[in-house]
Amino acid sequence: MTNRWSPIAAWNRFWFEPGPAARLGLARAIFCGAAFFFYLPQDFSEWATAAPIFWMPIWLFSTLHVPVLSAQSLFVMQTVWKVSLAACALGLCTRVSATVAAVLGTYLLGLPHNFGATQHFDTLVVFALCILAVSQAGDARSLDSLIRSARGKDHSSRPITGPEYTWPIRAMWMLTALVFFGAATSKLRHSGIEWVLSDNLRLLLMRAYYHVSDGDPLTSLGLAVARRPALAQLCAGGALAIETSYIVALFSRRARPFIGAAGLLLLVGIRALMGPTFEPYLICALFCVPWHRIEAPLVRLVTRPTPVSVLVDTAPARLDISI
Amino acid sequence: MSRRRRWIVNVFLGCLVAGSLHDIVRDQEHWPFSQYPMFSGIWRETSFSWYRLVGVEPDGGEMILDDSRYIRPFDQSRMHLALVRLAHGDDAERRVNAAVANALERYERQRAIGQHDGPALRAMRLYLFEWRLDPDARNVDTPDRRQLIAEVRPAAGDAP
């Protein structure tokens, strides 16, 4: 018999605690839907027109000898990818569409990083797509489940809760926490507490307004913060505190919503004040929201008992009956 | 959940966690795994340099191409970092010139198909701009120093 507190028991409890299929299904639908609309206007085929001297392959592409394809091939590939994202959002042929989205998404999202610099705004999207490909995310809130019901292959024998529906959500928790933890570790390793106590963030905020990032700051608030050194240090301290403590969200049910919200605010703050396009992280955050808890009251609201008026012919009475 | 299925999922999860922790602990990057090193150093300088592409209009006027739509699919960060690597590698002059020529070719092709509304260019220059940081970034278009690194003209037949 396995000890409840053994590492293996703790591992199994964390990843495979039974959970509702609806939660994973909704996370799949909302994440893939948001990713579809976010990437729809983006054209990856332009990378085929970059001169070969710009080609500086990252390890994944060099190890697997993956080349940059022609513009026509990239166009076809990105079209298939976007269709697969939409199909996965709808839960149509979910296993196939999720696998296609993961394989093509890894190539297309990884491709730009072979041209001079590795940026970090889309790593979680790749992980999320791979997780969906391995998971059974199409068991609920999907066209697949509706089709199965219509064909009489209803999964009455299949559980609507189970360990299959928990680990993908927790994998996204874990990877999100490791992103923040990695960022905090890098700062502490390379700069220590000086990262907070020096003029570092003040100068970085000023520099951000010289068009040096993949996106420009959305507001001029960064310059306002930079004019107040103490406020810049406070922001730096807050950012480092959020990044360092994010890992706690994995284990504390109470702290989780607060730390999660603080992490989102940090990403929004970076985008607004410094410029880096962290929108994909916000899309990935949709994966971690317990949508089934939002869905339940909404469904109750829609199906609320409605008063039915019954007029009785022989008496001037009116009965309100709720059904 | 069958034993085989659970084993597969465990291996998958183990790879995700181990890959992430490996890069964080070893301070390495194996995209999509990463140690997320952005902004991790301490910036102490009150001035900085950045490679910037500049278009030369038919009347000889210069237009700073600091909007990323003019250098698609690159952005200002990726273009600068790529040029830094080219400028510090072997055969730097030829490779940097080829990079600027490629940027000009893409600019004109995208202009011709209406992907941006920039003017026709008779040449493209690469400068290394240097700014002293201004609290209001008022000098963003007027760097304190500018060093011409390369200038290329459209290939014959492509000239506007």
| H helix or E strand, kind and range, residue A263 | helix A256-273
B97 shares contact with chain A (CB less than 8 Å): no
CA dihedral B44, B82, B142, A225 (to 10 degrees): -40
Looking at residues A188-201, what average pLDDT do you find? Answer: 96
Contact A275/A214 with Cβ under 8 angstroms? yes
Looking at residues A132-142, what average pLDDT do you find? Answer: 95
Q: B95: which chain A residues are within 8 Å (Cβ-Cβ)?
A: 53
Of A15, A47, A213, the CB nearest to B77: A213
Q: B106: which chain A residues are within 8 Å (Cβ-Cβ)?
A: 46, 49-50
Q: Could you report the per-residue pLDDT of A18-49, keeping only the tens digit for each?
A: 999 999 999 999 999 999 999 999 999 999 99
Q: Which residues of chain B have pLDDT under 70?
A: 156-160
* Residue A221 to residue B47: CA distance in whole angstroms: 21
pLDDT, position A312: 58
Closest CA to A28 of A84, A80, A90: A90
Contact B118/B106 with Cβ under 8 angstroms? no
Return the higher-pLDDT residue of A193 and A321: A193
pLDDT, position B1: 84
Q: A167: which chain B residues are within 8 Å (Cβ-Cβ)?
A: 9, 13
Q: Could you report the per-residue pLDDT of A207-238, keeping only the tens digit for each?
A: 999 999 999 999 999 999 999 999 999 999 99
CB contact under 8 A, A200 and B9: no
Q: Which two tokens stand for residue A137?
A: 């995310």
CB contact under 8 A, A46 and B42: no
Of A51, A123, A182, the CB nearest to B98: A51
Amino acid identity, position A68: V
Q: Is a pLDDT exceeding 70 seen at residue A308? A: no
Q: Assign A246 to helix, strand or coil.
A: helix
Q: Assign A288 to helix, strand or coil.
A: helix
Q: Give the distance from residue B105's alpha carbon to the nearest chain A alpha carbon, in angstroms.
A: 9
Of A178, A189, A227, the CB nearest to B27: A189
CB contact under 8 A, B95 and A106: no
ipTM for this prediction = 0.93
Closest CA to B99 of B125, B61, B60, B132: B125
One DSSP character per residue, A100-124 reads: HHHHHHHHHHHGGGGSS----TTHH
B60 shares contact with chain A (CB less than 8 Å): no
pLDDT, position A306: 62
| H helix or E strand, kind and range, residue A197 | helix A194-197
Domain ranges in chain A are 17-165, 166-293
Taking the model in full, what pTM does it have? 0.90
pLDDT, position A160: 85
Q: Give the distance from residue A295's alpha carbon to the nearest chain B alpha carbon, in angstroms.
A: 26
